Structure 1
Amino acid sequence: MKPLGTGTFSSVWLARDIKGQLGALELVRKSSLARSKSYKRGRSRGIDGTRPTRKKAAKDRQTSDGNSVLSPGEEDAGKRLGHAKTGRLVAVKMTERSLCSANSRSRVSFVREVEVLRHIAHPSIVSYLHSFSTPSHHCLVLEHISGGELLDLVDNPESFARIDEPLVRRIWGELCKAVAWMHSVGLVHRDIKLENILLTTDPFARPLPSSSLIKLTDFGLSRFIDPEQPQLNTLCGSESYAAPELVMGRTYDGRETDAWACGVVLYALTTRRLPFDPPSPNGIPHEQVARVEADWEVQQRKRGERRALLVRIAKGEYSWPESAPTSSDSDSGDVMKQAVTGEALARSEGVRRMVARLLVRDPRKRARVADLWEDEWMRGEGAPAPPTLPPDDAVSLPTPTWEGPSASLSLSADDDVDLDGDIDADADVEDEGVLVDGEDIGPGSVARQEH
């Protein structure tokens, strides 16, 4: 294992599944995904309320040297999933149990992230693989995304100078598709920022992959809402990406605060600075765990800077970097004009229109993420296809009879799953995403609770 990053409540490590244990678990996930897609299309293969059956496998066997012997079905599962003998790389998010015992917020964050991620599947959202606990840690296993954070791409002067408008459209379009889909199923993220957007590959490689270029991650603050009563009151997220209603301590609709945060992301992606923070010669500052400053004057200065930041956000006051007049090169479609890259991206009229529709002080006048495809800039070179979302009156989650607390954080050995059944192409995530086993997200689920 090696460290990938550290957050407020947890650390993320790169690990290798050398025993191939995730193969069968992923088939369970694919089985649930296929079943949910079948329900979504109105062609369930079984009786509502039933679960797929599993052919009971023999007890685990071991060779004389202690190595596990896989059953034929398990070996075949590993082959079908394409796992190499050396083991699949995964990301393991680890939260100390002692921290969870002392801090209820960290405990809720872990449980909520597990509950949310295991119920959703979208090509631009990081995939859940497994969760478990050890005597010292609670662990969440996710797919490993190898391209790094979007923040690192933007914050590096050399790589930022290579970003062109088609690449911005690709990244931005995929982010908006993921967020619009989440909102269509009643899910809000509440911590959208550059650090929580991962690149699946080198964004300057050509051709770019036909699959997703970015993945949204870190769902510890996310939750499902009731679209009929969407107002929330928990103040959470990063201040630089917070909407005015959040910094003023008002109740808010998480879909509207997500839209604001997306606007901050696009501004930062095209300017290499945050819209409400004071400009920094070193680019966008990385968030760090707060430290106690010994110097009283330093403390006073930082408090004053934070107060000024919150005032600017509350007033919705931001400006674009001083540069040449704005350009509508991309809107005109004239390929003979000079490509817009790096610092020149801030001059794009299309980018400025997007940001202006999202960084609106009054949340009632702020654009919905799903409505951004009305703008012609969203259909220019590099942009992904627009999403196909259900109508507003169809946006609702199942409301099953709920009995008891949320589901277990890990799979039981006795869970009924068909390890030998056919997992067809329908089990792959579609372009528009799938709510997996949505009937399990009852009123008592932590994924629906406000903390």
Structure 2
Amino acid sequence: MGMKKVGKYEVGRTIGEGAFAKVKFARNLETGESVAMKVLDKSTILKHMMADQIKREISIMKIVRHPNIVRLHEVLSSKTKIYIIMEFIMGGELFDKIVHQGKLWENESRRYFQQLIDAVDYCHSKGVYHRDLKPENLLLDSQGKLKISDFGLSALQQQGVGLLHTTCGTPNYLAPEVLSNEGYDGSAADVWSCGVILYVLMAGYLPFEECDFSTLYKKISAAEFSCPLWFSDGVKSLIRRILDPNPKARITIEGIKNDAWFRRNYVAVRHGDEEKVDLNDVNAVFDDIEEQYVSEKVEGAGRGPLIMNAFEMITLSQGLNLSALFDRRQDYVKRQTRFVSRYPARKIVAAIQEVAVTMALKVQSRNYKIRIEGGSSNKMGPFAVVIEVFEVAPALFMVDVRKAAGETLEYHKFYKTLCSKLDHVIWKPTEGGARPSLTRTATC
């Protein structure tokens, strides 16, 4: 199967999906740099009358330049699509780290929280509010540095409606004033979400968690939560000042930055704020949304499972480190939700479909790509998973499983169940075999 090109970018596999956009892995052919390409459909944008809003959001993302925020490089368009080229972040979601470690040490939590507050403070100084901060929007780069994603694109999830009463996904991170549909101050609402995130980093679970929305809303409105025993007094007092249900009494970012617990080992980040940002590409794309600006070419089409080229395979193994694919002692690869199978591709797909049905989930599949959907266990939003089968060597297939919607913790539970039911399909080579193996990625 040939690679698709968009301008100077070679486009690879889909790495994420949302209501309005798909995110694909791509590579800049001039520099060899990996990028993430958000693909938006022009007809959808026009149908929902979102062009002005999305133009504003993309312009914001371009203007917001900070080491702890995912960078937007440029915007391109074709007859039918808009392509947003963004920095590709290698290390996965911060939440995955919590899932696998249980909780983080206080010093590590503080370091991530300092980076988060720095980035949020910078955005507020530019008049930009995120309104949907949660661990799923916090990524880690290959050096373990925090990066906020979708700063400014948060409105994409709101279908063009104003305040956040259309919020999809989990309300667990939202401030009480946001949930009650009153007008609210974006900076105080972002501070609340940062407080919930700090609690989750240190505790390994949410401060407010209930199965039905009305009980959850009552608890959030009354800030009814308790801190685990291992929280130090310093962090307890800071979290209590952040999770104040009255936005006017809630601590501000300036207050957080003056807090003794926060200030420990704090090094304010330096950033080249003075570089001039050019919005010509954004204007060109949106001033005439029907014009063709970029050639889209698909060279050859294949019907079998996608053959993964070596480049994609390497980038899939985290940190561009090939040894992670082949060295069985590399435990950290366990975090990746994929496994290897010697079963024929069709049989793998059939087995996955069968398991999904036994779990009472809805299944769609096409061309060795499967989408599984269901309500989430806490009934607060949709749960969806996308599974793709790749041929990585003759008769050796890699099955890549990823979350498309829903909570990360719930997704990891689903993945564990899936693997236990697919045990017969997962390839586990005998120890001491001569063939370099991908076994470690198969561990659930």
SS of residue matched to 1:242: coil
User: Distance in 1 between the 2:255 and 2:269 partners?
Assistant: 10
Letter in 1 for 2:109: V
Deviation (angstroms), 1:93: 1.1
Letter in 2 for 1:407: N
Deviations 1:403-449 (A, max 9, x none): xxx9334799xxxxxxxxxxxxxxxxxxxxxxxxxxxxxxxxxxxxx
User: Distance in 1 between the 2:176 and 2:52 partners?
Assistant: 25
1:179 corresponds in structure 2 to 120
1:124 corresponds in structure 2 to 68
Deviation (angstroms), 1:91: 0.5
Which of 9, 33, 43 is 2:20 aligned to? Answer: 9
User: Distance in 1 between the 2:286 and 2:184 partners?
Assistant: 33
Which of 139, 143, 146 is 2:83 aligned to? Answer: 139
Q: Which has the higher contact order (CA 8 A, sep 6+)?
A: 1
1:88 corresponds in structure 2 to 33
Letter in 2 for 1:15: A
Deviations 1:348-388 (A, max 9, x none): 2222222111111100001112321211111224x333789
What CA RMSD, in Å, does the superposition of the two structures yield over aligned residues?
A: 2.7
Any conservation in 1 of the 2:61–2:153 contact (CA below 8 Å)?
no
Any conservation in 1 of the 2:75–2:83 contact (CA below 8 Å)?
yes
- TM-score using structure 1 length: 0.53
Deviations 1:207-263 (A, max 9, x none): xxxxxx11111121369xxxxxxxx84536551111111111111010110111111
1:191 corresponds in structure 2 to 132
User: Distance in 2 between the 1:370 and 1:7 partners?
Assistant: 34
Q: Find out whether 1:349 has 2:248 as its counterpart.
A: no
Q: Identity over aligned residues, as a percent?
A: 30
> CA separation of 1:236/1:359 partners in 2, compared to 1, >3 Å: closer, same or farther?
farther
Instruction: Name the structure with the higher strand share.
Output: 2
1:326 corresponds in structure 2 to none
- TM-score using structure 2 length: 0.54
Letter in 1 for 2:84: L
Letter in 2 for 1:93: K
2:283 corresponds in structure 1 to 407
SS of residue matched to 2:172: helix
Deviation (angstroms), 1:133: 2.0
Letter in 2 for 1:265: I
Q: Find out whether 1:366 has 2:242 as its counterpart.
A: no
> CA separation of 1:221/1:108 partners in 2, compared to 1, >3 Å: closer, same or farther?
farther
Any stretches of 5+ residues in structure 2 without a counterpart? 1-11, 157-161, 272-281, 289-444
Aligned residues: 259
> CA separation of 1:111/1:386 partners in 2, compared to 1, >3 Å: closer, same or farther?
closer
Q: How does 1:61-76 map to 2 (within 5 A)?
A: none
User: Distance in 2 between the 1:117 and 1:194 partners?
Assistant: 19
Any stretches of 5+ residues in structure 1 without a counterpart? 21-82, 204-212, 224-231, 279-301, 324-343, 389-405, 413-451
Any conservation in 1 of the 2:82–2:285 contact (CA below 8 Å)?
no
Any conservation in 2 of the 1:114–1:409 contact (CA below 8 Å)?
no
> CA separation of 1:109/1:184 partners in 2, compared to 1, >3 Å: closer, same or farther?
same
